[in-house]
Chain A
């Protein structure tokens, strides 16, 4: 339970920031705008995969929002805490392992990712989505939050400034948000791009969130997400362990 004080601190800070309207708005604004614009505008008129566009869009937005929220708060928080406020150094000088520090951060990032997902799901149902939550949906959502929180730790430990963290977001996170099957099926992309897109984790999150039942393909996607998560966690722990100013 050495990870718990780190988790508690992050959650207390998250709670304080939730009270600020601007903070919540900036965290949820983009996926909510997409949901309102595309969900209401195209939701019932366009059909994809035998259902309404709203039913297609909602899992994609959940994948995108959980990714952005899990990643952003951890990557930015860690960069700011390490480089500017030096609050991260308090963890490093405490008798806790690198793994405990990383798990504390990652679990708090997961909570943030889940929080945004719940808001989207509730709003989606208010707008008329008939999406049903399955075990595979929940497991994938958890894994997605874990993966991108762990990626946030890696970026937070490597970034030399706030701008650095933003660049990582622009080059890795934002392209995934748009091209990995959030708004339209990956099959509609040119074949060459499809190969690159299939290698990206969010593609597999989107596939799994839309899968009605377990298939060999969904197990494969689950393994891809698990592999990425394990790699990011291991790298995050290594970076914390080897940290030196």
Chain B
């Protein structure tokens, strides 16, 4: 459903994306992982026709994003990282105008349906500027769903939200996945990627440095991590099992944590950097 080949983007001397080649299958939830500046948003901008690549190509549903942008736009729904709703308009008006832009049939019914689905029906005629951050994010994702897209792009969909709202949005995304939608999301929340994504691509400084399911990536490192304090700095030691961790931790009781390996450990192993600032 999404295909890229040697996709690259350069901003003067800065290489934002360098030779990204990947394929995302229909119905898959694919996560792009990486710290700020890794190239996640640039990838999404190219795939959603907002930026033109300087090298390589990308296709959505078989349509080239550069040569057939209108066909691509008919297939996609986008929720960008920043809230770009019209805050001086109501929730209903925001959805209505977006629906008109996408020529959604039976628009009135669709807008009502989405507002109910998002639990915003009672606030339909309220100005978006009066909504909480979580409500605005929900409305933005509802807007992306308006045209019943085949591919949904979510750029940091839960950034800045409290844990309760974040989990609520995870349930939504899992619901979209169950309905067969192809989803590409970017995140720097490890738990989010592990829970939601069938596969993840790890980006570092514009390059794809790993691509597999979260389970397979974690499996490559072994089972457990022993975290300890070494002269005030945290030290990470990969071990196969808790027994080995206990053996290694002997004599170091202060600040010792034994836990399962997660995607953050994969990222640190690959790049030497932490994923979350």
Contacts and interface: CB of A to CB of B under 8 A. Distances in A.
Interface of A: 4-6, 8-9, 12-13, 16-17, 85-87, 89-97, 244-245
Contacts, number: 59
Given A89-B84, A93-B49, A97-B70, 15 more contacts: A4-B100, A5-B101, A9-B89, A12-B93, A85-B84, A86-B82, A87-B84, A89-B50, A91-B101, A92-B49, A93-B78, A95-B74, A244-B51, A244-B52, A245-B51
Q: Could you tell me the dominant secondary structure of chain A's interface residues?
A: helix
B89 A16 contact: yes
A18 to B, nearest CB: 12
Nearest to B143: A90
B48 A93 contact: yes
A96 B69 CA distance: 10
5 closest residue pairs by CB, A with B: A5-B100, A94-B101, A95-B73, A244-B52, A86-B84
A178 B80 CA distance: 43
A97 B69 CA distance: 10
Q: Could you tell me the dominant secondary structure of chain B's interface residues?
A: loop
Contact of A13 (B45, B80, B89): B89
Nearest to B103: A95
**Most chain B Cβ neighbours within 10 Å, of A89, A93, A96:** A93
Nearest to A241: B69
Given A89-B80, A90-B98, A9 B86 contact: yes
Interface residues of B, number: 25
**Most chain B Cβ neighbours within 10 Å, of A86, A90, A91, A92:** A90
**Most chain B Cβ neighbours within 10 Å, of A4, A16, A97:** A16
Contacts of B80: 86, 89
B45 A245 contact: yes
A12 to B, nearest CB: 6
A17 B84 CA distance: 18
Contact of B76 (A89, A93, A97): A93
